[in-house]
Homo-oligomer: A and B are copies of this chain.
Amino acid sequence: MTGDLLIRSVRPWPNAPGAPVVDVLCEGGRVAAFGRDLDPPPDVPVADGRGGVLLPAFTDAHAHLDSTRLGLPFRPHSAGEGLAELIDNDRRNWRSAGASVAERATHTLGRTIAFGATHVRSHAQVDVDSGLEKLEGVLAARQEHAGRAHVEVVAFPQCGILREKGTADLLDAALRAGADLVGGLDPAGYDRDPVRHLDVVFGLAEKHQRGVDVHLHDAGTLGAFQVELICERVAALGMWGQVTISHAFALSTVDDQRQGELVERLAEHDIAVTTVAPGVRDPLPLRRLRWAGVRVGLGQDGIRDYWSPYGDGDMLDRAWQLAYRNGFRRDELVEMCVDIATRGGAAVMGRVLGLTEGAPADLVVVPGDTVTGAVMDRAPRTLVVHEGRVVACDGQVV
């Protein structure tokens, strides 16, 4: 599945040596060499980067491909306020979304790849209403784009685990059916019993030897308490490096000292966090998290669905959003957001990306003369490369 490729005329960022515009040779799906006017080995395809900025490919570390309606006629937002109403609204409408889950997920995954992401972690709702249908749709989309992106799927109890009888068994079935991780959702605030909720989640993770990715919107001290509960289970089960907390609003809603303690706990347990750069909630303490060594990823969340009209598959736009929302003007801070949107998210998925020789040839070329300039322009991607093969060109999957 891996390929050889010569990419002409790119400006690598951040750690490639040499002149500003170089060629990049990929061999066996890995970066093999940077240099000026490299000769392509026989039969190796050549792609023109047209002088654009070369980045590691983007990672969408938190998507909901099962609910997307991107590309279909727009429907007005029909949900009322609050999580319960959002859940009920989706349940009322998803079967008449205009296309099957597989078709919708396939379309949006394709757009996400065309915008330069070759690593995607998608949640797939598992509940007594939809059973495994949404999971199967996302797995079908992954299959459709096999060879274009590495996709992880989380069996996600969007409607809670304890509120509806049978959900735990469905999560168990989802892990047998191909889900890579088991999810959770506001164990206290929504499911009303944090210990029992997390015991189900971590029990399934242990049984199937899979990772965990918990949605934690619960804020303040209640959220912080649940971060501690998760840490305790990571330590008890030896799951360092295998657990992610998504959203993690607790981190930005406790006082400075408590925030520091939580960040330390996350680092000690090698628990990753992901953010979607929300418009209203305070941003995560990105620098503090990264300084402590916590893996931080960026995601799109829902992508034009019954939950929200936002999202379009573009992780570069989301990196812009992260920078804007943090008020970052200096290039090194904007570039930190790009790092979170590329290598950071990949690290959440346990993958190492980069622009060094030997790194996976998962790359994106963005028009622009500097990384920050490219972020501000957000132009269609010139090239997207996965495992040494061109998978998208000028904004379209090939």
Contacts and interface: CB of A to CB of B under 8 A. Distances in A.
Nearest to A308: B329
Contacts of A326: 279-280
Given A76-B331, A76-B370, A376 B279 contact: no
Contacts of A377: 312
Residues of A contacting B: mostly: loop
B74 A279 contact: no
A278 B74 CA distance: 27
Interface in A362-398: 368-370, 372-373, 376-377
A326 B310 CA distance: 13
A359 to B, nearest CB: 25
A334 B74 CA distance: 14
Given A279-B325, A280-B327, A329-B309, A304 B376 contact: yes
Contacts of A330: 76-77
Counting chain B CB atoms within 10 Å of each CB, which of A77, A308, A309, A368 scores highest?
A309
A252 interface: no
A360 to B, nearest CB: 28
Contacts of A77: 329-331, 372
Contacts of A370: 74, 76
A307 to B, nearest CB: 8
A76 B370 CA distance: 8
A376 B330 CA distance: 27
A283 to B, nearest CB: 9
A147 to B, nearest CB: 28
Interface residues of A, number: 29
Interface in A303-332: 304, 308-310, 312, 321, 324-327, 329-331
A73 interface: yes
Given A309-B334, A329-B77, A324 B369 contact: no
A304 B329 CA distance: 10
Given A279-B327, A308-B329, A376-B312, A73 B321 contact: no
Closest 10 CB pairs of A and B: A74-B373, A280-B327, A279-B324, A76-B331, A74-B370, A77-B329, A279-B325, A77-B330, A279-B327, A309-B376
24 contacts: A73-B373, A74-B368, A74-B369, A74-B372, A74-B376, A76-B330, A76-B372, A77-B329, A77-B372, A79-B329, A278-B327, A279-B324, A279-B325, A279-B327, A280-B325, A280-B327, A308-B329, A309-B329, A309-B331, A309-B372, A309-B376, A310-B324, A310-B329, A325-B325
Given A76-B370, A279-B324, A309-B376, 11 more contacts: A73-B373, A74-B376, A79-B329, A280-B326, A280-B327, A304-B376, A309-B329, A309-B334, A310-B324, A310-B329, A321-B324
